[in-house]
């Protein structure tokens, strides 16, 4: 029989009783080892306000619930299930005599939804509330709702070792905060930073071996997940002293194996417990004097835009590493070794982000609807969740048929809510077509929601077959629960049983995955996200999978569990969602469109075939997109269109009423000026120069059309009557008139355009059409530089006219006649 007479929390017990007697709610903050979990509920049993009702204590984890129940029952000299019992999925030990029920948070949620008055319950205790699970937050919100509306005699106690007590007190309308100082043994905090290039399991194994030699007692090592635990155990194998052994501890383990990790080691033995955050709180692992902390935790992260929850490895919070270190000082002075730099501790977040801020809220939203609340905002939550997550959850529930368009729960939604699984999994069960089919679906739902059930293989079909034919106690419990779930569906039709892959389609239709380009292990999901699986896995050879769980970053997610599905089943199951779509690609070398007809299921391409391109709005749009992508130079510009663009560019510099025809401006307005002339075309070579000219002119305001030739003529008529083309510059410089000098004879004034406001730049050409002089002052040239040019040119070109006074000479296009 265990005794708790010397537990530190007993010193503040009068304050706890007084607070609950007078104010109905209280907050207890007590360090690890103070005895809050095992002593407080027992000490409250005799209180007058309890009126012979039960105490319900919530624990975040099953291991903690079982361990606490056993210790409390042992202190009374009773078996579990008499005065003290527990209730959790697959495992319940209570009786008519039970006065303290320790339940997991999810179980309490179902209890309060099924019985809103909490009949026969006088006090609800939330233990280790700092972990802030979604179920705990919702359970608290419902408890407060019951206390206000239905039960003014119900008591509430919140307990934690690390909690922002002041904030929770304010939330509970000034509930008293009671602190137990505890009697923690001193813990020496040491730092043993791992190298940047060192894997966590290598650093952990080295630290464990070092402390086995330097310190006494058993070791509790914190790692982020099961994979790291397995790899650390492999590195320790054959390298430990004869009296030391490894005991893994994680959520997916069998109950008996978890108990083995928690129990005291045999006499003369040293235990090395490799644990996840499961061992942070609520439980005491006897004999532990050394904690080795990786400083990492695997935490959930929800991508609202994809509706996917995934686990990410992140830095643990200050509260978490403090809890971990405290494990070393529960029974004697200890050592906590941290595998990071001491300076990095200050940069850790104070607390982990509550699950309600980063989780899939579909279960919460459905439970709110079942409770009669429109959503989380209608209840008292310590933190209100992000609106984007609520919107995504509501969208999913409407798609599953659990909520109608107004947000009210449907008859199907009531079945889904009553099944006690995530809405996706419950909807999968509700889609069953026979009693046996529903039982199989329920078993699959339990397999997915219960870590370790049926093993940990990535192939759910393999795990399903194993558990379906398994005769172990846990499998029998799961089978019994699956049968009870199936009965709630009340199927009338009698359909065939289907494969695991097809069953999963009813839960995760957006996670159908198709192999990418026949690359083993690489897949694309129907929602557009890419995922991968090890090529050595048997599933990697299948063309289609349905993914139920994944881990890792958005760009490199790894499939954790899923099942194969036949292509014929995909085509039949999703027939109404498959879309046939014609698309175009542009061949730059031939300037033409190439057509492709694809059959799409979300982001998955089921098939693709080349088709002839027919003129259409889509084809026009594809040509416009090609011009925008490759630039205006791929258009078949010719003489007229090139000159017009130059004239318009020049006018825009001088008068802003004229449109800009820069590359950027024309690309931005392609739909306006080019698209009308691409109608009926499938290649750019069908576009004429005149089409481009007309397109550019469509950008010019109609009232300016008549002024174009007046202000920016294409040619200038020289004294010989020749029409010489002008060259315009986009930078606004004077247009250039390139002409043989003999055709300008007799011209006494300088040529100009734009209502004589802009003098032309004259490029004088020799009889051989070579540039010989530039001028913007023709009269000055005649009277000045002409004399030197004449002397030079008349010797080179004796058969042409080189008069002394060109301003008075007759212009000519011809040379002198031969003698």
Q: Which of 352, 379, 409 is the last residue of a domain?
A: 352
End-to-end C-alpha distance for the chain, whole angstroms? 142
Q: Which of 352, 383, 406 is the last residue of a domain?
A: 352
The tokens for 649 are 């560019």
Q: Is the pLDDT reported for residue 1 higher than 50?
A: no
28-32, 146-150, 441-445: which has the minimum mean pLDDT?
A: 28-32
Considering the domain boundaries, does residue 401 fall inside one? no
Considering the domain boundaries, does residue 609 fall inside one? yes
Based on the fold, state whether residues 18 and 135 are members of the same structural domain. yes
Based on the fold, state whether residues 13 and 139 are members of the same structural domain. yes
Nearest residue to 269 via CA among 197, 217, 324? 217
Q: Is the pLDDT reported for residue 282 higher than 80?
A: no
Q: How confident is the model over 591-601, as a mean pLDDT?
A: 92
Based on the fold, state whether residues 144 and 204 are members of the same structural domain. no
pLDDT value for 145: 93
Q: How confident is the model over 18-31, as a mean pLDDT?
A: 91
Q: Report residue 161's pLDDT band, with 50, 70 and 90 as the boundaries.
A: confident
Nearest residue to 121 via CA among 108, 140, 130? 108
pLDDT value for 283: 65
The tokens for 222 are 């914190």
Based on the fold, state whether residues 700 and 594 are members of the same structural domain. yes
Q: What is the model's pTM?
A: 0.69
Q: What percent of the chain has pLDDT over 70?
A: 95
Q: How confident is the model over 9-18, as a mean pLDDT?
A: 91
Considering the domain boundaries, does residue 418 fall inside one? no
Number of compact structural domains in the chain: 5
Compute and round to an integer the Cα radius of gyration of the chain: 41
Q: For 722, phi and psi rounded to 5 degrees?
A: -70, 140
* Under 8 Å between Cβ of 607 and 673: no
**Sign of the CA dihedral 541, 547, 548, 551?**
positive
Nearest residue to 108 via CA among 143, 82, 73? 143
Alpha helices by DSSP H, listed for 327-472, are 362-371, 387-400, 411-418, 423-430, 435-449, 460-468
Based on the fold, state whether residues 692 and 717 are members of the same structural domain. no
Q: Is the pLDDT reported for residue 259 higher than 90?
A: no
CATH of residue 112: 3.40.50.300
Based on the fold, state whether residues 216 and 315 are members of the same structural domain. yes
Q: What percent of the chain has pLDDT over 90?
A: 51
Residue pLDDT, tens place only, 677-723: 999 999 999 999 999 999 999 999 999 999 999 999 999 999 999 99
Considering the domain boundaries, does residue 563 fall inside one? yes
Half-sphere exposure in the Cβ direction for 673 (13 Å, CA)? 23
Considering the domain boundaries, does residue 383 fall inside one? no
Q: What is the rounded average pLDDT for all residues in the chain?
A: 88
SS3 state of residue 688: coil
Based on the fold, state whether residues 646 and 779 are members of the same structural domain. no
Considering the domain boundaries, does residue 444 fall inside one? no
Based on the fold, state whether residues 201 and 102 are members of the same structural domain. no
pLDDT value for 252: 67
According to DSSP, the residues that pair with 593 across neighbouring strands are 586
Considering the domain boundaries, does residue 405 fall inside one? no
The tokens for 23 are 């104010």
User: Sheet holding 579-587: strands in order across?
Assistant: 579-587, 592-601, 604-611
Q: How confident is the model over 434-438, as a mean pLDDT?
A: 89
Based on the fold, state whether residues 605 and 661 are members of the same structural domain. yes
Considering the domain boundaries, does residue 722 fall inside one? yes
Q: Is the pLDDT reported for residue 18 higher than 50?
A: yes
Q: 505: Cβ–Cβ under 8 A, 6 or more apart, which residues?
A: 512, 546, 565, 573, 574
- Strand 270-275 to strand 218-222: parallel, antiparallel, or no bridges (unpaired)? parallel
Residue pLDDT, tens place only, 293-349: 998 988 777 666 655 666 778 888 888 888 888 888 877 889 999 999 999 998 888
Q: Is the pLDDT reported for residue 819 higher than 60?
A: no
Q: Which of 709, 726, 743 is the last residue of a domain?
A: 709
Q: Report residue 543's pLDDT band, with 50, 70 and 90 as the boundaries.
A: very high
What is the extent of the structural domain holding 610?
Answer: 579-709
Based on the fold, state whether residues 23 and 156 are members of the same structural domain. yes
Based on the fold, state whether residues 141 and 27 are members of the same structural domain. yes
Give the number of other CB atoms < 10 A from CB of residue 814.
Answer: 10
Residue pLDDT, tens place only, 743-754: 999 999 999 998
Q: How confident is the model over 161-169, as a mean pLDDT?
A: 84
Give the number of other CB atoms < 10 A from CB of residue 281.
Answer: 24
């Amino acid at each position: 029989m265990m005794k708790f007479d010397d537990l530190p929390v007993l010193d503040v017990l009068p304050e706890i009783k007084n607070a609950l007697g007078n104010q109905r709610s209280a907050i207890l903050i007590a360090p690890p080892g103070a005895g809050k979990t095992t002593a407080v509920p027992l000490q409250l049993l005799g209180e007058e306000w309890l009126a012979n009702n039960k105490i319900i204590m919530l624990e975040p984890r099953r291991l903690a619930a079982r361990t606490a129940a056993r210790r409390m029952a042992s202190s009374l000299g009773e078996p579990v299930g008499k005065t003290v019992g527990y209730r959790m999925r697959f495992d319940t030990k209570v009786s008519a005599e039970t006065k303290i029920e320790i339940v997991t948070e999810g179980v309490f949620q179902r209890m309060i939804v099924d019985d809103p008055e909490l009949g026969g319950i006088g006090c609800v205790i939330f233990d280790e509330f700092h972990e802030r699970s979604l179920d705990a937050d919702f359970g608290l919100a419902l408890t407060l709702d019951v206390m206000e509306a239905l039960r003014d005699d119900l008591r509430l106690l919140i307990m934690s070792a690390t909690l922002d007590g002041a904030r929770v007190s304010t939330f509970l309308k000034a509930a008293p905060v009671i602190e137990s100082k505890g009697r923690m043994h001193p813990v020496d905090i040491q730092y043993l930073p791992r190298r940047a290039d060192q894997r966590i399991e290598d650093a952990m194994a080295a630290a464990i071996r070092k402390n086995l030699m330097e310190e006494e007692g058993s070791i509790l090592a914190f790692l982020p997940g099961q994979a790291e635990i397995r790899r650390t155990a492999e590195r320790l194998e054959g390298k430990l002293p004869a009296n030391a052994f490894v005991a893994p501890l994680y959520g997916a383990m069998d109950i008996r194996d978890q108990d083995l990790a928690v129990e005291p080691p045999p006499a003369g033995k040293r235990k090395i417990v490799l644990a996840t955050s499961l061992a942070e709180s609520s439980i005491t692992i006897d004999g532990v004097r050394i904690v080795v902390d990786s400083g990492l935790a695997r935490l959930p992260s929800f991508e609202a835009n994809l509706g996917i929850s995934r686990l990410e490895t992140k830095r643990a919070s200050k509260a978490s590493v403090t809890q971990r270190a405290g494990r070393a000082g529960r029974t004697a002075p200890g050592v906590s070794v941290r595998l990071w730099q001491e300076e990095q501790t200050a940069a850790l977040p104070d607390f982990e982000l509550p699950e309600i801020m980063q989780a899939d809220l579909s279960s919460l939203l459905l439970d709110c609807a079942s409770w009669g609340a429109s959503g989380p905002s209608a209840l008292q939550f310590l933190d209100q969740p992000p609106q984007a997550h609520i919107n995504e959850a509501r969208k999913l529930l409407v798609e599953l048929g659990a909520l109608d368009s107004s947000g009210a729960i449907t008859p199907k939604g009531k079945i889904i809510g009553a099944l006690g699984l995530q809405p996706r999994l419950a909807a999968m069960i509700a889609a069953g077509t026979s009693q046996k089919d529903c039982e199989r679906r329920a078993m699959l739902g339990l397999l997915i929601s219960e870590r370790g059930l049926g093993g940990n293989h990535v192939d759910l079909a393999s795990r399903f077959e194993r558990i379906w034919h398994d005769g172990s106690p846990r499998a029998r419990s799961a089978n019994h629960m699956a049968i009870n779930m199936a009965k709630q569906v009340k199927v009338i039709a009698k359909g065939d049983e289907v494969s695991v892959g097809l069953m999963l389609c009813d839960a995760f239709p957006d996670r159908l995955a198709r192999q990418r380009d026949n690359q083993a292990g690489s897949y694309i999901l129907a929602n557009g996200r890419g995922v991968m699986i090890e090529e050595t896995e048997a599933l990697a050879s299948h063309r289609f999978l349905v993914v139920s769980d994944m881990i890792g970053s958005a760009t490199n997610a790894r499939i954790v569990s899923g099942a194969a599905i036949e292509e014929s089943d995909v085509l039949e199951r999703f027939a109404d969602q498959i879309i046939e779509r014609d698309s175009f690609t542009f061949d730059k070398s031939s300037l033409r469109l190439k057509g492709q007809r694809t059959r799409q299921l979300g982001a998955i391409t089921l098939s693709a075939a080349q088709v002839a391109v027919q003129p259409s709005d889509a084809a026009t749009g594809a040509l416009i997109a090609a011009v925008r992508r490759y630039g205006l130079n791929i258009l078949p510009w010719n003489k007229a269109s090139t000159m017009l663009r130059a004239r318009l560019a020049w006018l825009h510099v001088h008068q802003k009423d004229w449109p800009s025809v820069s590359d950027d401006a024309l690309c931005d307005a392609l739909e306006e000026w080019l698209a009308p002339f691409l109608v009926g075309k499938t290649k750019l070579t069908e576009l004429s120069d005149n089409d481009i000219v007309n397109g550019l002119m469509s950008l010019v305001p109609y009232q300016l059309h008549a002024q174009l030739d007046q202000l920016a003529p294409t040619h200038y008529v020289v004294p010989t009557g020749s029409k010489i083309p002008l060259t315009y510059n986009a930078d606004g410089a004077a247009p250039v008139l390139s002409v043989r000098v003999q055709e300008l004879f007799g011209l006494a004034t300088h040529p100009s355009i734009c209502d004589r406001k802009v003098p032309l730049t004259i490029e004088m050409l020799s009889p051989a059409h070579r540039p010989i002089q530039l001028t913007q002052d023709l009269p000055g040239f005649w009277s000045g530089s002409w004399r030197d040019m004449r002397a030079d040119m008349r010797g080179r070109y004796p058969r042409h006219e080189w008069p002394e006074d060109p301003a008075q000479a007759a212009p000519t296009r011809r040379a002198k006649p031969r003698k």
